[in-house]
Chain A
Amino acid sequence: MTATAMTTTAMNAAAALPLLQVDHLSMRFGGLVAVDDVSFTAMDRQITGIIGPNGAGKTTVFNCLTGFYKPTVGRLALSHSDGREFLLERMDGFRITQHAHVARTFQNIRLFPRMSVLENLIVAQHNKLMRASGYSVFGILGLGVYRRAEQAAVERARYWLGRVGLTDRANDEAGNLPYGAQRRLEIARAMCTEPVLLCLDEPAAGLNARESEELNELLKFIRDEHKIGVLLIEHDMSVVMRISDHIVVLDYGRKIADGNPEKIRNDPTVIRAYLGEEEDETLPPEVARDLGVRG
């Protein structure tokens, strides 16, 4: 298992280009410094994990990336494979998804609960469909241009429904899905925006072991088959350590380590940040196993 993971990483690293470059990102709320001078690079076609204890500033980094907050200081540069570059810190939230193609999910799921599962996925393709409907003019007139575009949107939705195993529930209200399915639907919805960078905020929270395993497979599939970068905030170490190609560790808003899972696992600063100053012997067994600390 580890061996395969290593080969994939090595393989990807060879082909990988920098996708997102975060330079000196700081975010202050009044006197509180939530993120303090963080810099890191996320590669294309890689999964970059962002970990850190509660309140380390992970979600704030996400909110800066996706335009919900304007960073106090810092440069967030996203490069597309065609060479276009976007400075995310200067863009409005919705334009980041619309033009720079960054998609995200939320820590506390944000679906459109009273709309159907399929509609959730169609809404995600809004901008494309708006253009196809001639900003509603062709749509009102019922022209074929729009009907074909809508059909294509449905097909894309069908593809992702199959991927996340929700084809049977396509016409049900999204709010009636079980928790794990809602998490998967949110990822599918984000993918329907055709992102180059997918930001997932604790996608494994509240999932059981089997669902968490399925999630790992889905994320690897997205990375390998759709060839996009994934940025992942996660508490569940078993997820992060096993699927991340690269890990950034935050603590109290600062970056304390950066590297591949092997390096992070053995980094004394990281172990201290997570577990305090004590030595390995006092670790609860399940934490030690998750961190992969060998006694």
Chain B
Amino acid sequence: MAYFLQQMINGLTVGSMFGLIAIGYTMVYGIIGMVNFAHGDIFMVGGFIAIIAFMVLGLLGITWVPLALLCILILGMAFTALHGWVVERVAYRPLRGSNRLAPLISAIGMSIFLQNYVQLLQGARNKALPPIISGGIEVMDMGGFAVKLGYMQIVIVGLTIVLMIGFTLLISRTSLGRQQRACEQDMKMAWLLGVDVDRTIALTFVMGAGLAAVAGLVWLMYYGVIDFFVGYLAGIKAFTAAVLGGIGSLPGAMLGGILIGLIDTLWAGYFSNEYHDVATFAVLVLVLIFRPTGLLGKPEIEKV
């Protein structure tokens, strides 16, 4: 029981990160109907920017943790969002309206490019960061097994909740969110009604990349290492989360992320550590077979 509880806590933490990445997939899919394969690598870029920012701040002598974290959060989101914006501008915007294969190939090309770009610039080896926030609370002790809730885990889940609330408000209350939803429903009509479609799509990428940057930051702090290839598997898992929750649905992405985090962790905890990636993949295939619309997704009506 205690072991289970511990796994649940860990799963929830990991799931929050997947959820943050999944939002980027789901929003882009919702608005332009493509899988942004480079999104996992944007997350990786976010992680690298975070580790560099940590070290630069360290050199500058800003070591008070809350201040440093805030700076890194803002810097990381800004620089990563810029990467997201440029990727959209360079690799996807010119392809709007071309055949359906072209944006996918462009996206995978961008993904390969980003991986190798970071590998060339920062080296192929793992980058390690000493733990910033350590320690935790002992929630309970059951039969000699202590269930621990790390401060880091509290920060991650708390940060995710705050971001999700802010983000939901952004989408539901602001005019930007309204335009975004309008484009999602009918891009042509939104355009005719004076919505700047290009700007809206660009901002969707920027928002997705911003959340991925946060995921990259907390990933780095939670695991303590990052490498140029980390976006590949994390990207696939986050996409699985988006599909599981129902692609196009924001609460779905978060829910899917948490479920995938739990499945991943529980599988590793109870069955075999080697095959937990396989478990996620099996979930993806099963969802696609039995419920392609996911848990919270709306069925797609084919326009003939």
Contacts and interface: CB of A to CB of B under 8 A. Distances in A.
Q: Judge: A and B partners, yes or no.
A: yes
Interface of A: 29, 59, 63, 68, 106
A24 to B, nearest CB: 22
Q: Is the interface of B mostly helix, strand, loop or mixed?
A: loop
A68 B300 CA distance: 13
A29 B304 CA distance: 15
B186 interface: no
B304 A68 contact: yes
B303 to A, nearest CB: 9
B128 to A, nearest CB: 52
B302 A68 contact: yes
B301 A106 contact: no
Interface residues of B, number: 3
Contacts of A106: 304
Interface of B: 301-302, 304
A257 to B, nearest CB: 26
B301 A59 contact: no
6 contacts: A29-B301, A59-B304, A63-B304, A68-B302, A68-B304, A106-B304
A96 to B, nearest CB: 13
Contacts of B302: 68
Contacts of B304: 59, 63, 68, 106
A29 B301 CA distance: 9
Contacts of A29: 301
A59 B302 CA distance: 13
A68 B303 CA distance: 9
A63 B302 CA distance: 10
A136 B207 CA distance: 50
A68 B301 CA distance: 10
Contacts of A59: 304
A63 B301 CA distance: 12
Q: Which 6 pairs from chain A and chain B are nearest by CB?
A: A68-B304, A63-B304, A29-B301, A68-B302, A106-B304, A59-B304
B176 to A, nearest CB: 27
A73 B304 CA distance: 20
A34 to B, nearest CB: 10
A282 B302 CA distance: 40
A68 B304 CA distance: 8
B304 to A, nearest CB: 5
A293 B304 CA distance: 34
B292 to A, nearest CB: 16
B299 to A, nearest CB: 9
A218 to B, nearest CB: 23
A106 B302 CA distance: 14
B251 to A, nearest CB: 19
A125 B94 CA distance: 37
Nearest to B298: A30
A29 B300 CA distance: 11
B132 to A, nearest CB: 49
B174 to A, nearest CB: 27
B97 to A, nearest CB: 14
A28 to B, nearest CB: 12
Nearest to A68: B304
Contacts of B301: 29
A241 B250 CA distance: 50
A182 B301 CA distance: 26
A106 B304 CA distance: 8
A63 B304 CA distance: 8
A29 B299 CA distance: 10
Nearest to A113: B99
Nearest to A110: B304
A59 B303 CA distance: 11
Nearest to B301: A29
Nearest to A59: B304
B70 to A, nearest CB: 44
A59 B301 CA distance: 14
A216 to B, nearest CB: 25
A5 B301 CA distance: 40
A120 B304 CA distance: 19
A103 to B, nearest CB: 14
